[in-house]
Amino acid sequence: MKLKVLTVSFLIVICAGALLGQGVRSEEEIPSLWQAYAGYFPIGAAVRYQSLRSHGELLEKHFNSITAENEMKFATLQPGEGTFAFFRADEIVDFAKKNNMLVRGHTLVWHRQYPGWLFRDGAGKASAELVLERLETHINTVLPRYKGDVYCWDVVNEAVSDSMSEYLRRDSPWYQATGEAYIAEAFRIAHKADPEAKLFYNDYGATRSDKMEKICVLLEDLLAEGVPVHGMGMQGHWDIFGPTVKQIETAIRRYAALGLEVQITELDISLYHWADKRKAITDPEELAERLAMQAEKYEEVFRVFREYRDVITGVTFWGVADDLPWTDQEPVRGRKDFPLLFAATEHRPKEAFWQIVNF
């Protein structure tokens, strides 16, 4: 048994066997995750600038694709109009090149993490023409810089609404500035800036039937207009309770039927139901049970991914290990989650890891 501090408010006993699955093994006995899937699709991880140092060895061994979690977003790359800050993104790309990894670009257009100047001018609100002009300048600066190094981009991220009463997000500053014109324009500008890059629409909730249909309407309309969309990114922020295998399969088939590549772009499996925002696990037996459920869930979804390897061209985890998951950026009452394949302690493989490599 080991004691692990989960929050400042409570301690929980974690069984090492429950976390690591098959006990402690030497590094030589642990297979490479990406090599296990070399005949299927690339295995990626979202990284932060500091991850290159804190998780470098783990990345080098287990992943052959990386995505910048924040370092390629609009606000990070162009914090001031005409002032670009590339050094963090450059270092991530250099790390990938050194280790023969693919790089996914994330993301050119999103309703969050944008600079404050983007939608303003001297008189207040910027016109649609000015906003689209600024978007073109941004894309025409960023994509040529990484041409040949970044093989695909999440061009537009999360434009479809979660609400049953609306189609696109009306609260998005992009929509408020330009209507829906920004979506097609972003893809057209990106394709012109780098004709070789694969261009993706990326969204969460992509297995939910109501949202999936709206996403498909958007993609169908774009394709009918000749807009260069090449793939659909299913984010995959899932949990041990859902979605079901059937829902995942249905979504993959639906997007692939549009003639698009499908990528799982932001995969993690939470121990908590997304609707259960305030409950924290305090019982070690319950934690062990949920970790076992997580391992089973990972095994199920990867079985589906392997079955659809003819249309799935990449699977990317949204993080590297449990000591730095994105879910901890917005903690709910100090709740700690363990959504990835490698434990926070020494980055040892969890049972979920062994379930997906031993197939």
pLDDT of residue 334: 60
Cis ω on the peptide bond leading into residue 31 (within 30° of 0)? Answer: no
Q: pLDDT at residue 28 above 90? A: no
Q: pLDDT at residue 37 above 80? A: yes
- Do β-strands 124-125 and 120-121 pair in parallel, antiparallel, or remain unpaired? antiparallel
Domains present along the chain, CATH in parentheses: 2-357 (3.20.20.80)
pLDDT of residue 17: 40
Residue 345 exposure: Cα atoms within 13 Å on the Cβ side: 14
Distance between CA 194 and CA 201 in Å, rounded? 16
Distance between CA 197 and CA 149 in Å, rounded? 9
3-state secondary structure the chain: CEEEEEECCEEEEECHHHHHCCCCCCHHHCCCHHHHCCCCCCEEEEECCCHHHHCHHHHHHHCCEEEECCCCCHHHHCCECCECCCHHHHHHHHHHHHCCCEEEEEEEECCCCCCHHHHEECCEECCHHHHHHHHHHHHHHHHHHCCCCCCEEEEEECCECCCCCCCECCCCHHHHHHCCHHHHHHHHHHHHHCCCCEEEEEECCCCCHHHHHHHHHHHHHHHHCCCCCCEEEECCEEECCECCHHHHHHHHHHHHCCCCEEEEEEEEEECCCCCCCCCCCCCHHHHHHHHHHHHHHHHHHHHHHHHCCCCEEEEEECCCCCCCCHHHHCCCCCCCCCCCCECCCCCCECHHHHHHHCC
Could you tell me the pLDDT band of residue 345, with boundaries at 50, 70 and 90?
Answer: confident
pLDDT of residue 198: 98
Distance between CA 285 and CA 278 in Å, rounded? 19
pLDDT of residue 273: 87
**Least-confidence region, from 211-220, 261-270, 319-328, 340-349:** 319-328
Q: pLDDT at residue 87 above 50? A: yes
What's phi and psi for 26, nearest 5 deg? -70, 160
Distance between CA 212 and CA 66 in Å, rounded? 26
pLDDT of residue 22: 47
Catalytic residue among 69, 158, 185, 261: 158
Mean pLDDT, rounded, for 260-265: 98
| C-beta separation of 302 from 359 below 8 A | yes
Mean pLDDT, rounded, for 310-315: 98
The closest alpha carbon to 231, from 197, 279, 208, belongs to: 197
Mean pLDDT, rounded, for 318-332: 76
Catalytic residue among 69, 185, 266, 351: 266
Q: pLDDT at residue 21 above 60? A: no
Residue 248 CB contacts under 8 Å (≥ 6 apart), including other chains? 207, 301, 304
Mean pLDDT, rounded, for 139-153: 98
pLDDT of residue 325: 74
Q: pLDDT at residue 13 above 90? A: no
295 or 331, higher pLDDT:
295
Could you tell me the pLDDT band of residue 55, with boundaries at 50, 70 and 90?
Answer: very high
Share above pLDDT 70 across residues of the chain, in percent, rounded to a whole number = 89
Question: Is residue 266 annotated as a catalytic residue, yes or no?
Answer: yes
Q: pLDDT at residue 300 above 80? A: yes
pLDDT of residue 8: 31
| C-beta separation of 262 from 283 below 8 A | no
Cis ω on the peptide bond leading into residue 107 (within 30° of 0)? Answer: yes
Question: Is residue 28 annotated as a catalytic residue, yes or no?
Answer: no
Chain centre distance of CA 305: 16
Distance between CA 220 and CA 226 in Å, rounded? 10
pLDDT tens across 183-239, in order?
999 999 999 999 999 999 999 999 999 999 999 999 999 999 999 999 999 999 999
Distance between CA 343 and CA 33 in Å, rounded? 15
Mean pLDDT, rounded, for 306-312: 98
Mean pLDDT, rounded, for 149-177: 97
pLDDT of residue 11: 35
Is the pTM higher than 0.85?
yes
Could you tell me the pLDDT band of residue 151, with boundaries at 50, 70 and 90?
Answer: very high
